[in-house]
Amino acid sequence: MDTEWKYKVFTVDKFISLDSDLSLEEELNKYGEEGWELVGIVQKPITSLGKPSKLNDNSIVFKKASHKQNKNN
């Protein structure tokens, strides 16, 4: 069975300011308790090789398994 994933993407600044009462470590742990796994931080490219960048800022990416049933099962 293939795992399907859901993703959340925040700018780093937005993620840090989501709950100003929590430290960064506490905020990461909160998402971990909800099943989200930090998979990476994507840096905004300095140049985009002639194409507009899809990123406006550095971003933080989380994923968790989707609980959708596979139609082939």
CB 7 within 8 A of CB 59: no
Report the pLDDT value the prediction gives residue 16, as an integer from 0 to 100. Answer: 84
| Average pLDDT of span 20-32 | 91
The domains of the chain are located at: 5-65
Percent above pLDDT 70 for the chain: 85
CB 12 within 8 A of CB 57: yes
Structure tokens at 33: 């308790």
Instruction: List, for residues 47-71, the tens digit of each pLDDT value.
Output: 656 777 777 788 999 999 997 655 5
Percent above pLDDT 90 for the chain: 44
Residue 11, judged by CB atoms within 10 A of its CB (0-12, 13-18, 19+), counts as: middle
